[in-house]
Amino acid sequence: MMKVSILLIVLLLLHSSSLMVTSAASTPAAHQLTTSAYTSNELLSTTLPPTALTSSAPTSNLPHPQFVTNFTGSVNDHGTCQCSVSLPYTPFPVQKMESLVLTTHELSEEFYRELTKIKEYSVLIERYEQRLLNLTIRVETMEKTSISYNELDFELLKLEVKEMQRLVNQLKTTFVGSRVIIDQLEIEIKNMTLLVQELESLDKNNILTIRREIAALKNRLKECEESNKQNDLVQNFPPGSCNHSGVVNISKPSIIQLNWRGFSYKYGAWGKDYSPLTPEKTLYWVAPLNTDARYLEYYRLHNSKDDLLLFKNPRDNRITYGEGSGTAVYKNSMYIHMYSSRDIAKVNLTTNTVVVRKTLPNAAYNNRFSYAGVNWEDIDLAVDESGLWVIYATEASTGNIVISKLNDTSLEVLNTWQTKQYKPSVSNAFIVCGVLYATRAVNTRQDEIFYTYDTNTGQEGRMSILMDKMLEKLTGINYNPLDHKLYVYNEGYLMTYDLSFQTTLQ
């Protein structure tokens, strides 16, 4: 700082004097000058050649004097004392002077730049010091009081400390002067980081960890929703339409959330009601089985996806009892397999009462022909564009899949199709536009849609569409014709998949 200001003074001096000389040089005619300007300036004496200064009176007889010389004045007719010095016509080094002026100008600009930087840095440093002080006070308060602080407090603190670390690092790379202050700041900030960490570890209840997990889940949910939006754009088949040639691909799963009863409830089903006449009314249902992985006792309803995501405004109901993960919801009614029987029942979701209970003729039950890796799903109800179906097996079918179309009012069987696919060797099944799609496990992270049975034509088919999964077991796959999504229960997690369809060639 000191050095620079001295330089400034010198520069200013240079600047002013050179200007003075310039003006003298620009008019090569004789000028009246005071000698003091020259004598104080060493520089000038080196740039100016030692030329004689002559008085107005002819003094040619004088020997060539030094730059500064004595000369005599004269008194004129009016008694005024006159004294004049004249510069000779000897060419003045104008070019040298001009370059000097230029250099000086550049130097002074450079100086001002440096000066501004220093000013900025000192302001910044002051600000950081203020913030550090504030932080210290806050951390001290947190230390002193015994109240348990929440995640937000720590996160805010950590954010601020991190931001300051970043700024200090930035400063360090740009600042060329003394780094003592900055190094000091850095140490203090590092201390602060340690302190915050220490404080955080003192929080004995595990709330922070849980909150973090929730935050992570929420983030993933957001990503999933974004990718869903893109998928929705790609889907160009109208809701409920069967104007396509079947499923051609499936998206990556979107993890919606953990089921409302928790980690231990690894089997169950969930979905969105398909009510073709009131498509604007949404109803989400979640039906985890009890931890015995057999009985369906409690289910929960939400009227919107937001409520579902936030666990808000739930309607919890109890029934005695359903069995397995084959539950489906259609037109605001739930269809379930009644425990220890070959009966199916229709439950009015408004009143939570069994409206109709009906035997499914010859259906095997009591875990006789359930799906691979999933117990107690002998009878699997399904919904497609045309209504209610049931997927099961009989002794007569030797365990191969039997498909029946049901009257959703009376639960009577309207029609039945026998397939050649052994039910216990498929992991799950769903129906789209009258076509049954069956899945099987490829490994713990993927299933494959590998088999189709078209009830419209009675044709069987093979295909290979890989389905990623988060955990090993997919239970209760439910298709919704409105959004063309599969709602899947994956060991306690609720997931959705988007189906893409083959366009019909006309």
Ligand X SMILES: *[C@@H]1O[C@H](CO)[C@@H](O)[C@H](O)[C@H]1NC(C)=O
Q: Which is nearer to ligand X, 71 or 422 (CB)?
A: 71
* Alpha helices (runs of H) in 175-243, residue ranges in sequence order: 180-202, 207-234
Q: Which is nearer to ligand X, 9 or 180 (CB)?
A: 180
Q: Closest distance between ligand X and the C-beta of residue 341, in Å?
A: 21
Give the C-alpha separation, 303 to 299, whole Å.
14
Task: Output the CA angle 212-218-221, nearest 5 degrees.
Answer: 145
Q: Which is nearer to ligand X, 74 or 503 (CB)?
A: 503
Q: Which is nearer to ligand X, 17 or 332 (CB)?
A: 332
Quote the DSSP letter at residue 363.
B
Q: Closest distance between ligand X and the C-beta of residue 66, in Å?
A: 9
Instruction: Answer for the pair 329, 283: CB distance below 8 angstroms, yes or no.
Output: yes
Q: Taking the CB of residue 473, how many other CB atoms lie within 10 A of it?
A: 21
Q: Closest distance between ligand X and the C-beta of residue 390, in Å?
A: 15
At 320, is the secondary structure helix, strand, or coil? strand
At 376, is the secondary structure helix, strand, or coil? coil
Q: Closest distance between ligand X and the C-beta of residue 500, in Å?
A: 7
Q: Which is nearer to ligand X, 99 or 409 (CB)?
A: 409
At 350, is the secondary structure helix, strand, or coil? coil
Quote the DSSP letter at residue 425.
G
Which among 372, 402, 378, 400 is positioned nearest to 389, based on CA atoms? 402
Q: Closest distance between ligand X and the C-beta of residue 70, in Å?
A: 4
Residues near 168 by beta carbon (within 8 Å), at least 6 away in sequence? 128, 182, 185, 186, 189
Buried b (16+ CB within 10 A) or exposed e, 420-446: ebebbebbbbbbbbbbbbbbbbeeeee
Which spans of this chain sit near ligand X (rule: CB under 6 A)? 70, 127, 130-131, 134, 187-188, 191, 243, 249, 251-252, 331-333, 348, 350-351, 407, 409-410, 503-504, 506
Q: Which is nearer to ligand X, 8 or 413 (CB)?
A: 413
Instruction: Answer for the pair 470, 447: CB distance below 8 angstroms, yes or no.
Output: no
Q: Which is nearer to ligand X, 283 or 431 (CB)?
A: 283
Name the helix (H) or strand (E) containing 11: helix 2-26
Task: Output the CA angle 282-283-289, nearest 5 degrees.
Answer: 155
Quote the DSSP letter at residue 370.
-
Q: Closest distance between ligand X and the C-beta of residue 168, in Å?
A: 13
**Token pair belonging to 98:** 């001009």
Q: Which is nearer to ligand X, 51 or 249 (CB)?
A: 249
Q: Which is nearer to ligand X, 220 or 252 (CB)?
A: 252
Q: Closest distance between ligand X and the C-beta of residue 3, in Å?
A: 29
**Token pair belonging to 439:** 């899945």
Q: Closest distance between ligand X and the C-beta of residue 463, in Å?
A: 12
Q: Closest distance between ligand X and the C-beta of residue 57, in Å?
A: 15
Give the C-alpha separation, 303 to 290, whole Å.
23
Residues near 371 by beta carbon (within 8 Å), at least 6 away in sequence? 377, 380, 423, 424, 426, 427, 428, 429, 475
Q: Closest distance between ligand X and the C-beta of residue 175, in Å?
A: 19
Quote the DSSP letter at residue 394.
B
Which among 107, 15, 88 is positioned nearest to 49, based on CA atoms? 88
**Token pair belonging to 474:** 């997919």
Q: Closest distance between ligand X and the C-beta of residue 243, in Å?
A: 4
Q: Which is nearer to ligand X, 107 or 442 (CB)?
A: 442
Q: Which is nearer to ligand X, 197 or 209 (CB)?
A: 197
